[in-house]
């Protein structure tokens, strides 16, 4: 941490800051310039983190130097390759994750599961619990949805990605989920993050609508801190001033997250776009930019979907979609992951 | 809902949309222009809400006409005046809510409580459970914090505002809280909203960092739908591109929320600014713009505060601060609320 | 400037940076920590500004310490009080600037001018050249508009605020303008800023839709650098994700700009809101927060206005509006400025 | 345009709106629902555009139906293929535009020009006039820079892309430029847009930092309206809350602009990222998503560059960069354009 003193800071004020830095177990390095004095607070991250010097007498600005996350940081280790029920993600392994937005019925789920499996998808997604902006909207099939996902898993052998919203549903979700999805609206639900961490189950952590990359990594840190290392980060569009699309997919996040962190990065183009026709170009772009996977929605008859039909790829087009995405992964030195 | 058809939509596509509108229990009004055909879907809000026509064949655009919230809407009723342990908020009643960011110790809490009471504050705030971006930061005193709040309540007679993060803490929080605070990061934690609604306890619902006013009102709707009408909305700064301050306090939200909804509107300038010196001008502005209350942080010795010290008003300055805010409330035809 | 080296920066890389700092005429102070080395580059602002060290080998981060503007900075001088044709603005002087959005006709302009003068306005605003998003929209009366403004000035004795868009119109505008307005869309039109600076005429510089406060002050610096010290800064709403209003008025900018700079700060609530009913609460809030003036639009019959009618205050209501704003200025220790 | 009346609008208010719609030369279609009345204003775009009904008595909301731009719209024509000194851009033709940020010296410019030509670039970029946030920064070589660009053009035969900031430099710039660049900060400098339109020279129009796609297309409309059809749109990063990078490159803009407009779309990853290491992944993503070209900065020795060195690709790496981008263009069915 670097503390910039005000031009008119007194010697006493400078001395008081040095004292507080040292009392916190860090070391203070002082540089006196013509206009300002700088004080570097160097030492262990946790000691330094305890210092809250903004607004202290004489202090103009406090500049963090070290990243506030540790376990998510790239400095500590190489890029992680996770293994989910035999499918790898990370490194040279690209995972295509696909399925219906929400589990609506047995027929729909099983037929979609077969389609995505046949086209090379590594995992099956499907929501049993759905976070909805409106309390009047369909909230998911709940337990019945989980039961159907278990059946699809048994039929296809594909690992299941499904969302958990309420810690009280943890046990039921763990019975079927290979990957627990934490939704964008819950990215800073710290209670949920800690419990998911303790579960030991792999996690797909979606970036909040207006979360910085640093906040996303801090949310991952809540999970990692419980000893659960199997975390995938997911970019799904951020909120900006632009109204021409639902969210603005931030593809710069891919290379930057991979520089900052060892965790795999997945992109969800379906929710960002909200429109089927944008899903292919955005998926190609994500793969070309080096994503470790994408998660997309598929439906045999999107016009009849209970939710988010406009953004679902048609089952009939999915094999072609997957083939194009696979070509794009080669640009970044990756290939579709296969069951071990 | 208004459906705008594409210029090249066929008669069959137009017919299919009309059929879907009527199948949902709404009525379809068709207007054919030179370039486009418009279809109005009119009828009960819930019938119309069920239609998901974006992306359907021939559809260019779907424009919502009615607001998606009902119970939070101003159309149904006059501005609400809530009563919290004898203190009114709303209408001509302005509530000053103040206290420490987090409950740190008995002495600190009781002395601060006395200061804010003596200066005309209507309620005492204080956090026992703290949502923190970093898992390594202080997370609040928990149960012990709640016990101290109960003591402060007994001593001063002031109602208590405190945050609930985890539904499993509901019972303990209800023992002391007169108002449950739902934090910005949990504004779309629908599990929490529903439970808080069922509790019947008054709620201070903070706007998410990047939540639109409509999303805030939909979150309130989750609480109201459970039969709990005692909801206050709280503007606490939104995330923008500006880096000169922590968040951008959106004071336009005050008159616009009051036009859209009957619920009282409270402003939190402390968290938006993150700096003590901005709290007074922003509090005056909030009161002048017609807010029904403000919630601010106070500490006897902010340099020693465990969290958010830089934004806390000094206890010694609080009486003067409160007097200035009271003057500003008169501009909007309001006055400090008093214990009944 | 503070240079943070990467944890694995070599001694050679550190040495190369020190050399570049010193070659630029600045002094280098080195602090070696356990994890990183910091290098402070201290010295004259212009020497330091020349260093472009981001991305240099071994460099992790470059942190600016001094503000990049000089003449606009508060450090150099006390708050400025400008005098515009005998009306003061700044310090304890609050200027109400009002008039029609665009000059439409002689009758309309003269009648509006009389109304705003009678209600205590310090200056008359009116556009002869209008920047319009659409090339098909009304672009202003041009030279004829300027002629009418000259007539209004003669009739009422009020100084005129009017926009300049094209440097080639400078001479014509200078014949009538007491204050040249630089619009938000031209805030970074450096050609225009420099010419306006050379003109010596007072300037109302509007903040760009997505300009940071630092960028606004850098734009002011372009004017000040030409020797023209008569610059007023104007907050007029920024672009955010919120769609409930046209722009989000950023009232935090008032106290922060006044801390950073000695220049007076004016607020334009009309363009931010785009709606008449929000202009009063936002004007009260701006005055309460310490603005040095507001600039608002007035029209005798807004339903017939050629542009921006929905946001114009009605002439018939203006005296009452002005009286309420005057009350609010007292909260910040100010009063309406009067002709000398 | 669709006008939504308030639930309590009177018959008189509804009648008055119908009258105004018809007086403007449009036709009114009325739909009465249970809660609200809708009035469609249908007819010629310019007639409808003249209506300013927001805020009129009884009006709740005005919803635009037709896009406000005509000449830039896709509805009128197929995707444009522009020809710039024999190089095609648009359709199946991808243009790699490259060169130094600013023209610094003869040697640097000529050597860089040769490198980019040899690697398959279609055009040479280089700035003689530089818009700089700070008035103290290097502002470009001006006329001398233009002279050097003419020399590079003669040597390599490549068309030149260079920025115009001041209409008074038009004649000099036209002597060398094959494409005039209008910078992001000047996107709404309507004076400049109209003059560039009148020049007949091809234009690269950069999206403003916070311009919506609709505003970008309206800016293009200013140029097209003067009879100049040779306009390329350029996405170069927008301003968001994220501070991990300079701007957020909005790659969704590529497919959406191509749906809305027939104009070619170019992407500038260098300015968005501000960092060399992000330029390759973002360029691959842009090509994969269907961009018609990219514009990137190259320098033989970026550490010595006068401006924006950290984002410049190294000349030594450029051939490899270009080869990778060429592979990515195939994903979208395009190939590098070649001199005719």
Q: Is the pLDDT of residue B340 over 70?
A: no
- Greatest Cα-to-Cα distance within chain D, rounded to the nearest angstrom: 76
Q: How far is D125 from chain B (nearest CA, A)?
A: 30
* H helix intervals, chain A: 11-23, 45-49, 106-118, 143-156, 170-174, 190-199, 213-224, 253-260, 269-273, 276-288, 318-329
Q: Which of C230, C196, C216 is nearest to C88 (CA)?
A: C230
Residues A278/A268, Cβ–Cβ less than 8 Å: no
Q: Do A242 and D212 touch (CB under 8 A)?
A: yes
Given this model, what pLDDT does residue C223 score? 97
Q: Residue A202 and residue A217: Cα distance in Å, rounded?
A: 16
Given this model, what pLDDT does residue D47 score? 66
- Phi/psi-derived region of residue D265, left when phi > 0, alpha when psi is between -120 and 50, beta in every other case: beta
Given this model, what pLDDT does residue D132 score? 85
Phi, psi of B150 (to 5 degrees): -60, -40
D202 HSE (CA, 13 A, CB side): 25
- Greatest Cα-to-Cα distance within chain A, rounded to the nearest angstrom: 76
| Enclosing H/E stretch for A336 | strand A335-336
Tokens of residue A67, six digits: 């990243």
pLDDT in tens, A282-330: 999 999 999 999 999 999 988 888 877 888 999 999 999 999 999 999 9
Given this model, what pLDDT does residue B66 score? 73
Tokens of residue B53, six digits: 């026509």
Given this model, what pLDDT does residue B47 score? 66
A124-133, B74-83, D282-291: least confidently modelled range: B74-83
Q: Is the pLDDT of residue A7 over 90?
A: no
State the SS3 of chain C.
CEEEECCCCCHHHHHHHHHHHHHCCCEEEEEECCCCEEEEEECCHHHHHCCCCCCCCCEEEEECCCCCCCCCEHHHCCCCCEEECCEEEECCEEEEEEECCECCCHHHHHHHHHHHHHCCCCEEECECCCCCCCCCCCCCCCHHHHHHHHHHHHHHCCCEEEECCCHHHHHHHHCCCCEEEECHHHCCCHHHHHHHHHHCCEEEEECCCCCCHHHHHHHHHHHHCCCCCCEEEEECCECCCCCCCCCECCCCHHHHHHHHECCCEEECHHHHHCCHHHHHHHHHHHHHCCCCEEEEEEECCHHHCCCCHHHCEEHHHHHHHHHHHHHHHHHCCCEECCCC
Q: How confident is the model at residue A76 (pLDDT cuts 50, 70, 90)?
A: low
Residue with tokens 């632009």: A242
Strand-pair category, A202-206 with A179-182: parallel
Q: Which of D298, D276, D294 is nearest to D336 (CA)?
A: D294
Q: How confident is the model at residue B339 (pLDDT cuts 50, 70, 90)?
A: low
CB atoms within 10 A of CB C324: 16
Round the average pLDDT of chain D to a whole number and report it.
91
Find the CB nearest D242 among A250, A285, A290: A250
B86-95, B107-116, B302-311: least confidently modelled range: B302-311
Given this model, what pLDDT does residue A302 score? 86
Specify the DSSP class assigned to residue A248.
B
Q: Is the pLDDT of residue B245 over 60?
A: yes
Exposed, middle or buried: residue D335 (CB in 10 Å: 0-12, 13-18, 19+)?
A: exposed
Q: How far is A27 from chain C (nearest CA, A)?
A: 8
Which residues are D59's β-sheet partners? Answer: D5
Q: Do D66 and B27 touch (CB under 8 A)?
A: no
Q: Do C278 and B256 touch (CB under 8 A)?
A: yes
Find the CB nearest A248 among D248, D273, D331: D248
Given this model, what pLDDT does residue D174 score? 97
Find the CB nearest A288 among D259, D277, D284: D284
Subunits with 3+ C-beta pairs closer than 8 A to D = A, B, C
pLDDT in tens, A204-245: 999 999 999 999 999 999 999 999 999 999 999 999 999 899
Strand-pair category, D37-42 with D2-5: antiparallel
Interface probe with D: pick from C55, C239, C250, C313, most Cβ of D within 10 Å:
C55
Q: Is the pLDDT of residue D135 over 80?
A: yes
Given this model, what pLDDT does residue D44 score? 66
Q: Is the pLDDT of residue D209 over 90?
A: yes
Q: Do C240 and B248 touch (CB under 8 A)?
A: yes
Q: Do A212 and D244 touch (CB under 8 A)?
A: yes
Q: How far is D162 from chain A (nearest CA, A)?
A: 27
ipTM above 0.85, yes or no: yes
Nearest CA in chain B to C328: B331
Interface probe with D: pick from B3, B7, B29, most Cβ of D within 10 Å:
B29
Given this model, what pLDDT does residue B138 score? 81
Q: Which of C94, C92, C90, C98 is nearest to C117 (CA)?
A: C98
pTM: 0.93
Given this model, what pLDDT does residue A184 score? 96
Phi, psi of B226 (to 5 degrees): -85, 5
Q: Do D212 and A241 touch (CB under 8 A)?
A: yes
Query: Any residues with CB less than 8 A from the CB of B259 and at least 6 apart, and which?
Result: B74, C277
Subunits with 3+ C-beta pairs closer than 8 A to A = B, C, D
Q: How confident is the model at residue D117 (pLDDT cuts 50, 70, 90)?
A: very high
Q: Residue C301 and residue C314: Cα distance in Å, rounded?
A: 7
Phi, psi of A73 (to 5 degrees): -75, 150
Q: How confident is the model at residue B216 (pLDDT cuts 50, 70, 90)?
A: very high
Tokens of residue C324, six digits: 């309420």
pLDDT in tens, D1-54: 788 888 889 999 999 999 988 888 888 888 776 667 888 887 766 666 667 787
Q: Which residues in chain C have their CB less than 8 angstroms from residue D303's CB? A: 56-57
Given this model, what pLDDT does residue C50 score? 64
Q: Residue C136 and residue C102: Cα distance in Å, rounded?
A: 16
Q: pLDDT over 90 for what percent of chain D?
A: 70
Q: How confident is the model at residue B293 (pLDDT cuts 50, 70, 90)?
A: very high
Q: How confident is the model at residue B150 (pLDDT cuts 50, 70, 90)?
A: very high
Find the CB nearest C243 among A34, A61, A243: A243
Q: Residue C284 and residue C275: Cα distance in Å, rounded?
A: 15
Q: Residue B51 and residue B17: Cα distance in Å, rounded?
A: 10
Q: Is the pLDDT of residue A51 over 90?
A: no
Q: Which residues in chain D have their CB less than 8 angstroms from residue C311's CB? A: 55
3-state secondary structure of D295: strand
Q: Is the pLDDT of residue D127 over 90?
A: yes
Q: Which of C136, C160, C141, C142 is nearest to C150 (CA)?
A: C160
Given this model, what pLDDT does residue A49 score? 63
Find the CB nearest C29 among A31, A63, A241: A31
Q: Do B55 and A133 touch (CB under 8 A)?
A: no
Nearest CA in chain A to D243: A212
Given this model, what pLDDT does residue D195 score? 96
Q: Which of B166, B103, B153 is nearest to B124 (CA)?
A: B153
Q: Do A212 and D281 touch (CB under 8 A)?
A: no
Q: Which of A212, A332, A323, A326 is nearest to A264 (CA)?
A: A332
Mind listing the pLDDT tens digit of every residue in chain C (340 residues)? 788 888 889 999 999 999 988 888 888 888 776 667 888 887 766 666 667 787 788 888 888 777 888 899 887 678 999 999 999 999 999 999 999 999 999 999 999 999 999 999 999 999 999 888 888 888 889 999 999 999 999 999 999 999 999 999 999 999 999 999 999 999 999 999 999 999 999 999 999 999 999 999 999 999 999 999 999 999 999 999 998 999 999 999 999 999 999 999 999 999 999 989 999 999 999 999 999 999 999 999 888 888 778 889 999 999 999 999 999 999 999 999 976 5
Residues B287/B334, Cβ–Cβ less than 8 Å: yes
Q: Residue B87 and residue B114: Cα distance in Å, rounded?
A: 17
For C281-318, b where at least 16 C-beta lie within 10 A, e where not — what string? bbbbbbbbbbbbbbbbbbbbebbebbbbbbbbbebeeb
Q: pLDDT over 70 for what percent of chain D?
A: 96
Q: How confident is the model at residue A25 (pLDDT cuts 50, 70, 90)?
A: confident
Interface probe with A: pick from D239, D257, D279, D281, most Cβ of A within 10 Å:
D281
Q: Residue D300 and residue D317: Cα distance in Å, rounded?
A: 9
A59-63, A111-115, B232-236, C18-22: least confidently modelled range: A59-63
**What are the CA-CA distances from residue A321 to residues A297, C92, D39 (Å)?**
12, 66, 42
Find the CB nearest A136 among B46, B57, B134: B46
Q: Residue B39 and residue B42: Cα distance in Å, rounded?
A: 9
Given this model, what pLDDT does residue D340 score? 55
């Amino acid at each position: 941490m670097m503390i910039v003193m005000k031009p008119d800071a007194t010697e006493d004020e400078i001395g008081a800051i040095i004292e507080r830095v040292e009392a916190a177990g860090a070391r203070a390095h002082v540089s006196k310039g013509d206009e300002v004095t700088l004080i570097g607070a160097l030492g262990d991250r946790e000691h330094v983190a305890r210092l809250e010097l903004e607004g202290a007498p004489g202090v103009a600005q406090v500049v963090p130097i070290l990243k506030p996350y540790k376990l998510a940081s790239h400095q500590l280790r190489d890029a992680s390759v996770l293994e989910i029920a035999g499918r790898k993600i990370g490194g040279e392994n690209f995972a295509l994750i696909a399925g219906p937005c929400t589990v609506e019925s047995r027929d729909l789920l099983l037929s979609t599961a077969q389609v995505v499996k046949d086209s090379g998808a590594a995992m099956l997604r499907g929501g049993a619990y759905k976070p909805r902006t409106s309390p009047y909207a369909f909230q998911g099939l709940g337990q019945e949805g989980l039961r159907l996902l278990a059946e699809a898993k048994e039929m296809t052998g594909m690992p299941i990605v499904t969302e958990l919203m309420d810690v009280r549903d943890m046990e039921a979700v763990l019975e079927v989920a290979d990957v627990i999805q934490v939704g964008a609206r819950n990215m800073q639900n710290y209670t949920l993050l800690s419990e998911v961490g303790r579960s030991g189950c792999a996690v797909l952590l979606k970036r909040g609508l207006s979360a910085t990359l640093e906040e996303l990594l801090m949310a991952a840190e809540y999970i990692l801190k419980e000893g659960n290392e199997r975390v995938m980060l997911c970019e799904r569009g951020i909120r900006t001033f632009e109204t021409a699309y639902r969210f603005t997919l931030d593809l710069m996040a891919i290379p930057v997250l991979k520089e900052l962190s060892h965790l795999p990065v997945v992109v969800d183009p379906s929710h960002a776009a909200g429109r089927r026709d944008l899903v292919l170009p955005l998926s190609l772009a994500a793969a070309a930019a080096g994503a470790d996977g994408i998660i997309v929605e598929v439906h045999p008859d999107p016009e009849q979907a209970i939710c988010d039909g406009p953004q679902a790829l048609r089952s009939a087009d999915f094999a072609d979609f997957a083939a194009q995405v696979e070509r794009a992964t080669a640009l970044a030195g990756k290939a579709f992951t296969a069951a071990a």
